[in-house]
């Protein structure tokens, strides 16, 4: 009974590693990753994706700041217009 439980446990772990391997980018000609290599590659890939997200968020913050600043300058220029005539 204990032997059967251990087999099922190991099969479950192996299945989980196979599912993880599917999501890790590798070249088709590379040999199958070991469990340790799979975990290392997964950690590296997650960190890589996290870095991309930080860059995207940084660009988004920059764009929002730029747009807000541009709108402020436009509104400011309209209020303190440099036109020779005033509508007031």
Q: What's this model's pTM, rounded to 2 decimal places? A: 0.60
Give the range of the structural domain holding residue 50, as residue numbers without chain letter. 2-73
In a domain, residue 36? The reply is yes
Query: Mean of the per-residue pLDDT values for the chain?
Result: 79
In a domain, residue 30? The reply is yes
In a domain, residue 12? The reply is yes
pLDDT tens track for 53-88 = 888 777 776 667 666 666 555 544 444 444 444 444
In a domain, residue 84? The reply is no
In a domain, residue 59? The reply is yes
User: At 88, is the secondary structure helix, strand, or coil?
Assistant: coil
Could you tell me the CA-to-CA distances from 77 to 11, 23, 28, 44, 61 in Å, in that order? 69, 52, 59, 49, 24
CATH number of the domain within which 66 lies:
4.10.280.10
Provide the CB-side half-sphere exposure for 50 (13 A, CA).
6
In a domain, residue 79? The reply is no
pLDDT tens track for 25-61 = 988 788 889 999 999 999 999 999 988 888 877 777 6
Domain count, the chain: 1
In a domain, residue 67? The reply is yes
């Amino acid at each position: 009974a204990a032997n059967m439980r251990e087999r099922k446990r190991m099969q479950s772990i192996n299945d989980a590693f196979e599912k993880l391997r599917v999501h890790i980018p590798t070249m088709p000609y590379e040999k199958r990753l070991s469990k340790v290599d799979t975990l290392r590659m997964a950690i590296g890939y997650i960190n890589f994706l996290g870095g991309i997200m930080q860059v995207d968020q940084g660009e988004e913050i920059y764009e929002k700041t730029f747009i807000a600043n541009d709108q402020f300058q436009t509104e400011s220029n309209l209020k303190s217009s440099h036109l020779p005539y005033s509508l007031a």
